[in-house]
Structure 1
Amino acid sequence: MVTLTEEDWRKLDDCILKIHTTEALDVMQRQFMEDLDGLIPNQKSFFDLCSCKDGQFYFFHPVSVNMTVEQITSYYKQYQFSDYVAWIFNTDQPIIYSDSDIVSNPVRENSLIYKRWMEPMGVYYSMGSTIVEHQIMFGSITLFRSRDTSDFGEREIEILKILNRHLSASFSMRFPNGLKKNDKETDKSRMKRYGLTEREEEIMELIISGISNQQIGEKLFISENTVKKHINNLYRKLDVVNRSQLMTNYYNQASMLVDINERMDWGG
């Protein structure tokens, strides 16, 4: 049986209080991740939200205090489908896991997500949880540690289990029918809010995908100079100065679509 220290319980009490009393979700997410780092030290971690509609999960608004926008974006855009623990999202009950209990080191090290995403970030072990209550998914938490630190163990699982129970209950009370997020409404809202043209929205999407100005021009059959003009207009309208800031602006409002019918084929 895991025995938590008095200091652990003090930190847990502070974290749980904020879960139940912080009204703004984004503020609660950030506070939670800051507190979680003090309870379960980690090198990388994020906390995303989730809505479900017509058999599809939409993961959106991930918050991290130790990852770059590019690192999180690349997960959703490129590597989520090769995540070797993705099967946990196919359950209607909360799951708290350590990946070492699910996969062997050789499987981990040969997986696409490890080779191309985790290893470049300097992380090896992971653990996490799904925030689920009454068969409704509200989000997930994922933490990573480097290979030269200790793996996540029973203590960390117990702490996340306690916190996850409170997160699930809090989300269920506040959003009994689940969180709602609509990609098309988000795109229209962004265009209306910032006065973007359809072409600028299209170029913004291509920038987020990671391709160069030249490749954008080739894809849209316009010159590279025209692409640059559109990008300068985007920077001005969004009040940013470079691609990184533009991605942050987009990322804070974009939803990540996951088809639950494909989830069982995600093994890395």
Structure 2
Amino acid sequence: MSLKNDDWIKINEMVKAIYSTPSSAVISDTIVKMSYIISFSHSMYHSYKRSGNKTIALDYHSDDLPKEVIDAYSNDYENIDYIAWYSDIPISRAYRDSDIIDNSVRDNSELMNKWMLPNNMYYCLSSTVAYNRVAFAGLSFFNSKGEGDFSDDDKEKLSIITDHLSIRLHNDYLLSTSSSFTDPKSDFLNKYHLSRKEAEILKLINEGNLRDKLAELTFISDNTLKKHLSNIYKKFNINSYEQLIQIIKGQDLE
């Protein structure tokens, strides 16, 4: 694989920007500049935080998808994303969904049929920004079926940029005296590997909020709430809301 000289000129300019842009803006700035070297119709990016030994994705953003589309992914589809098991591994790399997941699985998934296709997205090129088993961010780029899948050159370009982002954010992480890259959850929450939304639901229950108010308070649909509760029941190895109340009673859920 050999990138063109023009590609390298643009990549070098992007790399310079990665090491000179403030840490808080480097991911969003890079997403914008990726259009200089890769053709895509939509993009999305998010942060990662650590909770014990688990890597948790959060704070999804996009400059070209409506907020309600991003919120729908975060609330309704993140937990059933067919590629999440791979993307959340804290290793710096770029990949195409179509290289990892068989198209028959993608085509029949709820994520594809209820979130991607309605928003004119079919192919996805992503990367995990990570260094030394610590993940910092995730980047995703989408094309429609008509636009075609991303090329090997596209993947190589994203891989180069991702490696530099990983080094930059790793250096900032080492210099930081704050806990901005960690998630100081309680031992109880870590023990059951609860997601951010699941922890939020449990906190509301423990505060005495009624079950029929939980969806409204967490800004999700009733169906999404049912899915979250079902996941919580499985993690606690229980089968009723009443059992859940007894388990979390008096626990530290911060």
For normalisation by structure 2, the TM-score amounts to 0.69
Give the corresponding residue for 2:17: 18
Corresponding position: 1:34 with 2:36: no
Give the corresponding residue for 1:209: 220
1:58-69 matches, within 5 Å, as 58-69=56-67
Q: Contact 1:130/1:137 (CA < 8 Å) preserved in 2?
A: yes
Instruction: Quote the Cα distance in structure 2 between the aligned partners of 1:139 and 1:118.
Output: 21
Q: Contact 2:57/2:88 (CA < 8 Å) preserved in 1?
A: no
Q: CA deviation at 1:127?
A: 1.3
The correspondence for 2:122, drawn from 118, 121, 124, is 124
Give the corresponding residue for 2:166: 168
Residues 84/203 of structure 1: CA separation in 2 closer, same or farther (3 Å cut): closer
Give the corresponding residue for 2:46: 48
Q: Contact 2:51/2:184 (CA < 8 Å) preserved in 1?
A: no
Q: CA deviation at 1:39?
A: 1.4
Give the corresponding residue for 1:4: 3
Residues 204/175 of structure 1: CA separation in 2 closer, same or farther (3 Å cut): farther
Residues 54/207 of structure 1: CA separation in 2 closer, same or farther (3 Å cut): closer
Residues 89/33 of structure 1: CA separation in 2 closer, same or farther (3 Å cut): closer
Give the corresponding residue for 1:146: 144
For residue 219 of structure 2, what is the amino acid of its counterpart? I
Instruction: Quote the Cα distance in structure 1 between the aligned partners of 2:101 and 2:94.
Output: 15
Aligned residues: 198
Give the corresponding residue for 1:106: 104
SS at match of 2:92: coil
1:178-189 matches, within 5 Å, as 179-181=181-183
Q: CA deviation at 1:60?
A: 3.0
Q: CA deviation at 1:90?
A: 5.0
SS at match of 2:10: helix
Q: Contact 2:131/2:167 (CA < 8 Å) preserved in 1?
A: yes
1:83-121 alpha-carbon deviations (Å, 9 max, x no partner): 111121453422321111122322211011001100110
Instruction: Quote the Cα distance in structure 1 between the aligned partners of 2:55 and 2:15.
Output: 26
SS at match of 2:138: strand
SS at match of 2:22: coil
Instruction: Quote the Cα distance in structure 2 between the aligned partners of 1:103 and 1:82.
Output: 14
Comparing 89-98 with 32-41, which one deviates more in the overlay? 89-98
Report sequence identity in percent.
25
Corresponding position: 1:80 with 2:82: no
Root-mean-square deviation (Å): 2.9
SS at match of 1:175: helix
For residue 11 of structure 2, what is the amino acid of its counterpart? L
SS at match of 1:84: coil
